[in-house]
Amino acid sequence: MSSGAAIAALLRKELLLERRVPQVIPGMALFSVVTYVVFRFGLDRTSVEGSLAAGVLWVTLLFAAMLGANRLYVTDHEEGGFDGFLLAPVDRTTLFVAKALAFGLFLVLVEIVAVPAFAVLLLGPGLGAAEVGRLAAVLALADVGIAVIGTLVGALAIQTRARDLILPLIALPMLVPVIISAAKATAPVLAASGAGGLPGRWIALLCLYDLVFGLLAYAVFDFLLED
């Protein structure tokens, strides 16, 4: 089986599993909405804007992503999926690509719920078409980094007894550049004075992070899976 066919088959399996037994997406979406409610009462404010709004948005999305990453390999681990995959005549990195694509799609689906909920519950300035487009661009770049790191660290954490603790302890520090860059790039979009252009240096940093860590994760995943 070619790598492309293997990736397509694995991705289809991930999506069908989530469709039949929803575990990742509903939990992430519900966590995001509840967190916005907590922020609303915790900050004692009915609306936020600018850098504060960006911080609230990205912190919530990051911790929701950690919930999803924790569940990414549970079925494979508990039902012998890893053993079956290792016996299959396919490149081991196809599993990483398929899992990262599936996780990235899960993040997008969660954000379709979480971002409008954030706009309704907390965001002061409204979002026009231009603002939505810029925000979507930042979300896409950040999702790539989160999906890559979440997929890589999730494969490491699932092999430990304390996976719920190990994953955030390792993944969160690695994702700090993503969250800082995404928040800095998003702040002008969420400003009450009107959406400014996306800061080029923060967008460039997101792109560089995605490229470097994507290649590193792809290179080491084979050895991680064998261990």
Give the confidence band of 83 by pLDDT, cuts at 50, 70, 90: low
Residue ranges per domain, the chain? 3-226
pTM: 0.90
DSSP result, 81-143: HHHHHHHSSS-THHHHHHHHHHHHHHHHHHHHHHHHHHHHHTB-S---HHHHHHHHHHHHHHH
pLDDT tens for 133-177 read: 889 999 999 999 999 999 999 888 887 777 788 899 999 999 999
Q: What are the pLDDT digits (tens) for 165-190?
A: 889 999 999 999 999 999 999 988 88
> Smallest Cα–Cα separation from 90: which of 216, 13, 5, 215?
5
